[in-house]
């Protein structure tokens, strides 16, 4: 589908600078721009590419000032990255939507399926399942007994939702994600054997949550594991039993959150972070990649390192750490001098 720069600008409330009639039918990276494509400039590090890009249209911020002549058409917007997301969403929404029930699939006689739903081949819907309007259940999805999936949510191929869990509106659950598996609960006996503690809680996922491929969210041992509205979980994340994650929090790949920890609103947690159990992480907390969190965190803190510490303290510590070999040599030299002085006395 081709669309003009002028029509694009109308969709995102932008201002055209250049040929408003130029047509695009695809998107490209700014450094690999091709004629007939749209790209964007949001990171100043990529500014150098705009002068040579072959892309026909570039989204830029309203305060962008070119230092050289440009061959592309510009569309000025408040936030190029957000504008691109809006356009891509418009493109996805314009695609034909899957509907209907494919065979073979299993749908319990007690399940309720909303209007315009899609049930892919080899999907399984258990007893008393409730699917809202426009829900998409792709092939090989398992939806256990008494699960509720609200309107406009998508379960991609191979996702598994165990018994009793609840998923809100407009959520996206990617392939291979497992919602509601048992939490890791075992009680050791006097002989050192481990007896399984039944996990009788559920998982509650609020509206507008996205859960990445092969991410696992364990059901509560008692009570529920809760994921707040608007939160985004990357691929390959482990969320333990009875964890609570607040609203609009972003968690990157390979993070592990141990049981019963609580994470606040608007947090940003980098890749491979480990969070111990029974902790309280405040609102607006930022945690750098590979950090280890072993204590409660107050609102607004920025943490790095394992064990984690405030980012300023971390950088000071690393500055000393890099000098340790030199410090060690100086310490040895001083030790030799002290021994000589003591010997002379």
Tens digit of each residue's pLDDT (9 = 90 or more) over 177-236 = 999 999 999 999 999 999 999 999 999 999 999 999 999 999 999 999 999 999 999 999
Q: Are strands 186-188 and 194-196 parallel, antiparallel or unpaired?
A: antiparallel
Tens digit of each residue's pLDDT (9 = 90 or more) over 28-50 = 999 999 999 999 999 999 999 99
Same structural domain for residues 84 and 104? no
94, 118, 133 - which closes a domain? 94
Same structural domain for residues 47 and 73? yes
Identify the three-state secondary structure at position 84.
Answer: helix
Q: Output the pTM of the full model.
A: 0.83
pLDDT at 72: 95
pLDDT at 144: 98
Give pLDDT < 70 ranges for the chain: 309, 344-345
Structural Rg of the chain based on CA atoms: 27
pLDDT at 341: 80
How far is CA 66 from each of CA 48, 90, 191, rounded to the nearest angstrom?
A: 10, 29, 74
Q: Are strands 148-149 and 166-167 parallel, antiparallel or unpaired?
A: parallel
Same structural domain for residues 29 and 127? no
77, 94, 111 - which closes a domain? 94
**Nearest CA-CA partner of 33 in 61, 56, 65:** 56
Same structural domain for residues 266 and 120? yes
pLDDT at 345: 61
Same structural domain for residues 253 and 110? yes
Same structural domain for residues 200 and 303? yes
pLDDT at 199: 95
State the Cα–Cα distance between residues 282 and 183, nearest whole angstrom. Answer: 24
Q: Which two tokens stand for residue 295?
A: 């204590």
Report cis status (omega within 30 of 0) of the bond before 104: yes
Identify the three-state secondary structure at position 324.
Answer: helix
Number of domains in the chain: 3
Cβ proximity of 226 and 204 under 8 Å: yes
Same structural domain for residues 41 and 170? no
Q: The tokens 């819907």 sit on which residue?
A: 125
pLDDT at 135: 98
Same structural domain for residues 16 and 144? no
**What is the DSSP track for 179-221?**
EEEPP--EEE-TTS-EEE------EEE-TT-EE-TT-EEEPPS
Same structural domain for residues 207 and 192? yes
Domain containing 50 equals 3-94
Q: Name the β-bridge partners of 40.
A: 59
Same structural domain for residues 19 and 136? no
Determine the longest span between alpha carbons in the chain, in angstroms: 98
Q: The tokens 């450094």 sit on which residue?
A: 31
Cβ proximity of 243 and 225 under 8 Å: yes
Cβ proximity of 230 and 248 under 8 Å: yes
User: Alpha carbon 37 to chain centroid distance?
Assistant: 27
Same structural domain for residues 189 and 220? yes
Cβ proximity of 218 and 225 under 8 Å: yes
Annotated catalytic residue 278:
no
Task: Give the number of other Cβ atoms within 10 Å of residue 101's Cβ.
Answer: 15
Q: Which two tokens stand for residue 39?
A: 């790209």
Helix H segments across 49-192? 80-94
State the Cα–Cα distance between residues 301 and 267, nearest whole angstrom. Answer: 10
Same structural domain for residues 324 and 307? no
Query: Which residue among the candidates 174, 241, 280, 295 is catalytic per the annotation?
Result: 241
Q: Which two tokens stand for residue 30?
A: 């700014």
Cβ proximity of 263 and 279 under 8 Å: no
CATH number at 145 reads 2.160.10.10
State the Cα–Cα distance between residues 106 and 252, nearest whole angstrom. Answer: 34
């Amino acid at each position: 589908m081709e669309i003009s720069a002028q029509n694009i600008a109308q969709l995102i409330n932008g201002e055209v600078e250049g040929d408003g009639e130029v047509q695009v039918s695809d998107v490209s990276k700014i450094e690999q721009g091709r004629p007939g494509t749209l790209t964007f400039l949001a990171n100043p590090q990529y500014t150098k590419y705009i002068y040579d890009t072959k892309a026909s249209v570039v989204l830029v911020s309203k305060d962008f000032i070119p230092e050289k002549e440009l061959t592309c058409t510009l569309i000025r917007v408040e936030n190029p990255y957000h504008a691109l997301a809006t356009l891509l969403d418009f493109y996805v929404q314009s695609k034909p939507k899957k509907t209907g029930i494919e065979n073979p699939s299993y749908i319990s006689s007690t399940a309720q399926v909303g209007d315009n739903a899609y049930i892919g081949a080899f999907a399984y819907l258990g007893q008393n399942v409730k699917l809202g309007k426009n829900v998409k259940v792709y092939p090989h999805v398992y939806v256990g007994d008494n699960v509720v999936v609200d309107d406009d949510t998508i379960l991609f191929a191979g996702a598994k939702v165990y018994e009793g869990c609840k998923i809100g509106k407009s959520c996206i659950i990617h392939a291979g994600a497992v919602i509601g598996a048992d939490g890791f609960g075992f009680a050791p006996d006097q002989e050192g054997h481990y007896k399984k503690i039944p996990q009788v809680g559920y998982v509650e996922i609020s509206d507008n949550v996205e859960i990445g491929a092969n991410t696992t969210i364990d059901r509560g041992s008692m009570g529920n594991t809760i994921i707040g509205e608007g939160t985004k979980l990357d691929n390959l994340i482990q969320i333990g039993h009875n964890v609570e994650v607040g609203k609009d929090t972003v968690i990157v790949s390979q993070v592990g959150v141990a049981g019963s920890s609580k994470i606040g609103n608007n947090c940003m947690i980098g890749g491979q972070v480990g969070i111990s159990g029974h902790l309280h992480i405040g609102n607006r907390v930022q945690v750098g990649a590979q950090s280890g969190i072993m204590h409660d965190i107050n609102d607004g803190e920025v943490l790095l390192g394992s064990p984690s510490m405030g980012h300023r303290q971390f950088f000071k510590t690393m500055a000393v750490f890099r000098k340790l070999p030199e410090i060690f040599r100086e310490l040895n030299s001083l030790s030799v001098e002290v021994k000589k002085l003591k010997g002379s006395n």
